[in-house]
C-alpha cells in the first residue's frame, strides 16, 4: 500500500501511523482521511500488529478538517453532504474507537476540531508539553460541536460544556489534570514515550487485550456512548442545513477561517 498523506512505521508489533501533511498542519482532506482509514483497516487485519499509534508530523498533530475543501462538499445536496460526513467523519472515527487493538494518540501542538475528534476516539492520549486541544466550532463555524460528541465520556459533562460553549483551548497539563490525557512528556521525548507505551501494550496477550478493549468500550456503550454519538451526528448534520451555516459557506468560509486562526 502506498500513501501520499500518511506514513507508516513499524517497530516490532507496533504500527505508528503518521499524518504527513505538516505544511498544512495535518489538515484532514478527503484524501488524507481515506488513506488513514485504509491504514487502520490494514492494521486491524494484520496479525503481527498488536498496538497502533496515531501521530502527526511537524509542529502540530492536526488543525482539523481541511476547510479549503468544505465548500466542495456543502455545495452539493443535503443527501450527498450527509453521506460524506457519515462516511469520512463518523464511520472512520468509530473505526478507530472499534479497532480491535489499542490505539494511542501521540499529540503535540494543535489538536483542534477534527484534529481533536480523531485524538479523542483513541484509547489513550499521550501529549507533549506544548499540546493543546480545542473544539471551537460553535464559535467559528456555526456548528453544534464536531461530528463525534465523545467529549462527555472523556472529560466529564460539566467540563465538556465549558470546553464547547467557550470554544477554549485546553493545554496538555490541564487535560492531564482532568483525566482526558494519560501522560504529558517533554516535546522532544514524545515519539519515544508513545512508542514505549505501545510496546508495553504489545507485550500483553493480544486476544485478552482485544477482549479487554471490547469490554471497556461496552461499559461506555452501556452509558449510552454509541446512541448518543449517533444522535449527535444527526443533530450536527441538521445544523449544516441552517441559514447561519449556509451564510458561512456563501462567504467562502472567510469569516470561519479568520476565527479559526485565533484557535488553531
User: C-alpha grid cell for residue 253?
Assistant: 468560509
Tell the smallest beta-carbon distance from residue 147 to Zn ion (Å): 5
How far is the CA of 199 from the CAs of 16, 95, 103, 205, in angstroms?
Answer: 11, 22, 12, 12
Between 3 and 73, name the residue whose CB sits nearer to Zn ion.
73
Tell the smallest beta-carbon distance from residue 236 to Zn ion (Å): 6
Between 66 and 85, name the residue whose CB sits nearer to Zn ion.
85
For β-strands 6-11 and 14-19, DSSP reports them as: antiparallel
Q: Show the binding pattern over residues 64-93: x = contacts Zn ion (CB under 5 A), - = does not.
A: ---------------------x--------
Tell the smallest beta-carbon distance from residue 126 to Zn ion (Å): 28
Environment class of 200 (CB within 10 Å of its CB; exposed 0-12, middle 13-18, buried 19+):
exposed
Closest-by-Cβ residue to Zn ion is 85
Between 74 and 180, name the residue whose CB sits nearer to Zn ion.
74
Between 35 and 85, name the residue whose CB sits nearer to Zn ion.
85
Q: Is 191 helix (H, G, I), strand (E, B) or coil?
A: helix
Tell the smallest beta-carbon distance from residue 65 to Zn ion (Å): 8
Strands in 110-112's sheet, in edge-to-edge order, are: 110-112, 132-134, 170-171
Binding-site ranges for Zn ion (CB under 5 A):
85
Amino acid at each position: 500500500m502506498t500513501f501520499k498523506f500518511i506514513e507508516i512505521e513499524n517497530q516490532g508489533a507496533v504500527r505508528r501511523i503518521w499524518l504527513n501533511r505538516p505544511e498544512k498542519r495535518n489538515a484532514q482532506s478527503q484524501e488524507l482521511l481515506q488513506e488513514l482509514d485504509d491504514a487502520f483497516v490494514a492494521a486491524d487485519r494484520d496479525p503481527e500488529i498488536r498496538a497502533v499509534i496515531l501521530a502527526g508530523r511537524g509542529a502540530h498533530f492536526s488543525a482539523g478538517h481541511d476547510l479549503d475543501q468544505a465548500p466542495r462538499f456543502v455545495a452539493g445536496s443535503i443527501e450527498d453532504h450527509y453521506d460524506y460526513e457519515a462516511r469520512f467523519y463518523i464511520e472512520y472515527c468509530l473505526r478507530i474507537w472499534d479497532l480491535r487493538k489499542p490505539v494511542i494518540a501521540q499529540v503535540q501542538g494543535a489538536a483542534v476540531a477534527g484534529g481533536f475528534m480523531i485524538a479523542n476516539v483513541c484509547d489513550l492520549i499521550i501529549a507533549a508539553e506544548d499540546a493543546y486541544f480545542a473544539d471551537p466550532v460553535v464559535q467559528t463555524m456555526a456548528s453544534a460541536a464536531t461530528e463525534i460528541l465523545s467529549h462527555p465520556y472523556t472529560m466529564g459533562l460539566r467540563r465538556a460544556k465549558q470546553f464547547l460553549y467557550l470554544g477554549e483551548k485546553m493545554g496538555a497539563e490541564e487535560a492531564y489534570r482532568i483525566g482526558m490525557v494519560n501522560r504529558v512528556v517533554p516535546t522532544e521525548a514524545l515519539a519515544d514515550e508513545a512508542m514505549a507505551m505501545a510496546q508495553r501494550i504489545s507485550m500483553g496477550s493480544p486476544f485478552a487485550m482485544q477482549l479487554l478493549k471490547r469490554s471497556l468500550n461496552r461499559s461506555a456503550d452501556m452509558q449510552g456512548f454509541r446512541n448518543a454519538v449517533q444522535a449527535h451526528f444527526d443533530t450536527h448534520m441538521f445544523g449544516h442545513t441552517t441559514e447561519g451555516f449556509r451564510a458561512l459557506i456563501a462567504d467562502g468560509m472567510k469569516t470561519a477561517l479568520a476565527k479559526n486562526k485565533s484557535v488553531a
